[in-house]
Every structure is written in structure tokens, then in C-alpha cells.
Structure 1
């Protein structure tokens, strides 16, 4: 009897402190903003148990509004040039599209840009988070929630807070929307409609930064190895680039 009780007590003994996974420290919103840049491992350990996304999403939208307002003239000119260069549109379609741009008031432009940024970003983020979740849970056998993946994708895009000001300055200096921070700099901008140019443009310094953050977070949330998480995220990005370039050749 005593031996049986001793066995039960031994079975109920708690794990040694060294074997218990420590809880991630609680971070304030501003601490999260700093940590995602300065200490992403610590940050994503926090995000794993506290998958918040509204704060970074609002910051990204706010920066998008500033970017849109500052580069309005250059972006409108770029859109006009895309219409003129398109070989998928008839001359009548081009005239109608150009007329719409010419008649667009500044207020309409800002409303369209802001609403498009909010709705477009939400849709893109949700789709990307869904792909992360599908890949991690179904194909790789991990376990995470959509909220965790959505938060991961939004926080990875926090790099946009650096990317947009840099590109905004370049656009204003050059007075053109055609600025690049990618390997596309190795090619003539006149070749921007070629497949090679688009593939090189996908290798962008800010995109690489985002991929690093997504990979770190993906591995921490799923408890995957660094090699496995980097390979997964990079593979998904390569597939996305190939599909987008292919569709671009069909419809643009």
C-alpha cells in the first residue's frame, strides 16, 4: 500500500523548473514595436501567446496614407503611363481610362487610395495568413491558429514603416514612381515589362527583411527548426512570385 502511494506521488511530481518552458514576458505595444526590429526572437515568443495585430495594421495603414498623399502626382503619372503602354487595351479603352484619371478630384483620389489600402491590405494579409496556416498545419503537421498566422504576417509587414519612407524620398527626388530597392537596379528601367526584370525586382531588400521576420516567427509559433521555417517561407514566396509574374504576362 505504502509503495503504491509512493509511486503515485512520484508520478504527480511537477517537472523540474529547468524543463518547464518559461512564459514569454509581457510587452507593451511600443515595446513590441521596438522588439520586432531589435529582438525578433523575443518578440515572436511573446506573439505566440499574445497574437495581436490591430496596432501594427493601423500603423501600416497610416504610413500608406502619408505615402499616398506625398506621391500623388508621381503615382498618377505612373498609372497613365501603364495605360498608354498596355497592349491589352484598345485605344478606346485607353482613352476612357485616361479620361477617368484626368477627371478624378484629389478628394476622390485620396478616398480611393485609403479605402483601397485598408481593404486591399486586409484581404492580402488574410489570404497570406491562410496560406501560412494551411502549410504549417496541414502539410507540415504543426499546430497554430489563424489569429497567430494573421498577427505574424501583419507584424512581418511592419518593415513597411521603413520601406515606404525610403521609397517616398526616392520617388520625390527622382520625380518618378519607378524607383527600385531590388536587383532590378542591375537592369535598364526600360526593360521593366520583361520577365527577368520582374524576377529580379522580387529580390528586394525590404522583402528579404520581411521574409526573415516571417521565417523567425513561423518557426517560433510552430516550434519548427530555423531551416524548416526559412525553407517554407521562402518556398511560398517563390511560388507567389512565379504566379504573379505569370499572371502579369497574361493580363498586363
Structure 2
């Protein structure tokens, strides 16, 4: 029976089957979203993995080391703190630790907010630019599933920390050596640009392109152009920001 026929007949996948098929047969998962736009399992998985990653960072890296690693990755930040008095430097370190704690402990909620923003951007793009027929709830659900590879990335990062990988260069914005930029020792715009071409990021882009075309009933090229187009804009803005602000 075809995927479309399954939707029409009411036959569908379970939430667990959807997660598995996101990696094994993504078209099945995204087609099933036409039947049911529930997205709770990807969120639960992200929540659990987020707790695991936070635990690994706290136990194996530590907040002070995390701050030091972040400073070392930013020449602009290094130059700013170089002129600070010991008291001011301690205050900056305390503020950075607080921001890391908020980011890690609130990670799943922030991730959900990012998914919402991505869906808000893609929904009118595919509908008004490419003549799609996507409902917002389906686009939002699709993005949740398409982001699952990033949960895998966080899981691998947590496991590598628990296995004793050196924590003296671990940063939250580039946790694994799955991109060329990770191996650049000199921070800067080029490192930021090359870090954007991460294996897991490309995986997400492919899944999202497939999923968007399916839930909007458009050509695959429309989904690809919508997703990759906005990603390129984001990468360029991030790289320029790094060049200007460090």
C-alpha cells in the first residue's frame, strides 16, 4: 500500500515508528504527518538527551572550563577581558557561567522556540512563493522530526565526554569534529563559515527539504530551495556577524 493510500485509509505510523522512519525512510514519516501532526515524541527525546548532555558537561567539563574554552574561541572576547580588573573579570566569568546554565538547563525549550521560528519562516515561503498547501501545524511537526539528527549529535557529544574525551577544547557551539571548521585552530569568520557545513546540519537540511515538499504538496525542488535558501542566508549573516563583532 502506498504512503498516500495509508493516509487516506486512516492507517498510520506510531510515534516510535515515525522516529525510526525519520532515519530509515523519512518520506513515510513526513507523509504520516498529513494524517496526524502530533510532535510530542521528538520533544521528549530532545528533553531526555538534553538532560544527559547537561550532566556530561557539568561532570566532565565544568562551568569554569566551559567559560575558558569559550574565551579561547573568541579573539574579540579575549581582547575585551584582557583589560579588566580581577574583580570585573570575576564578574564576567560569573555572568558567562549563568548564561551557560540557562542555555543548557533551558535547552529543550530554546530548541522548541527555534523549531517554531523555522516553521514560521518556512510556512509562508513554501505556500506563497511556491504555491504550496501546507498547514502550519504540519510544517511545525515536520521540523520537529527533521531536527532529530541534532538530538543524535548531542547524544554523541555526551557519550564522548563520558568516555573521557579531553574537555579542554569543548564548546557548546561546536561540540564534535563533524565539520571542517572544528579543526581550525584560529577563531574567526572562516572557522564560523566552515563550521556551518556540519554533517548533522546537512542531514537536517535534507530531511527538512523532503518533509516540507511532502506536507506542502509541492515539487521536491521547492522544498530544497526554501530550506537551503534560508539556511544560506542564516550562514551568511552569522559569518558577517562573527567578522564584525567577533
Q: Quick check: TM above 0.5?
A: yes
The answer as to whether partners of 1:136 and 1:222 remain within 8 angstroms in 2 is yes
Aligned-residue RMSD, C-alpha: 2.6
> Structure 2 residue aligned with 1:174, among 130, 141, 166?
166
- CA distance in 1 between partners of 2:218 and 2:181 (Å): 33
Gaps of 5+ in 1: 1-17
Distance 1:246 1:113, change over 3 A: same
- CA distance in 2 between partners of 1:234 and 1:224 (Å): 16
Cross-structure match for 1:97: 92
Judge which range, 196-205 or 163-172, deviates more. Answer: 163-172
How far the C-alpha of 1:109 sits from its partner, in A, is: 7.3
How far the C-alpha of 1:214 sits from its partner, in A, is: 0.4
- The 5-angstrom pairing of residues 99-248 of structure 1 reads 99-100=94-95, 112-113=102-103, 115-171=105-161, 172-175=164-167, 176-178=169-171, 179-185=176-182, 187-188=183-184, 190-191=185-186, 193-248=187-242
User: Match of 1:162, SS?
Assistant: helix
Cross-structure match for 2:55: 69
How far the C-alpha of 1:174 sits from its partner, in A, is: 2.4
Judge which range, 117-126 or 212-221, deviates more. Answer: 117-126
How far the C-alpha of 1:129 sits from its partner, in A, is: 0.6
Cross-structure match for 1:41: 27
- CA distance in 2 between partners of 1:88 and 1:243 (Å): 23
Judge which range, 228-237 or 90-99, deviates more. Answer: 90-99
- CA distance in 1 between partners of 2:209 and 2:170 (Å): 30
User: Which TM-score applies when normalising by structure 2?
Assistant: 0.80
User: Match of 1:173, SS?
Assistant: coil
Once superposed, which parts of structure 1, at least 4 consecutive aligned residues long, lie more than 4 Å away?
Answer: none
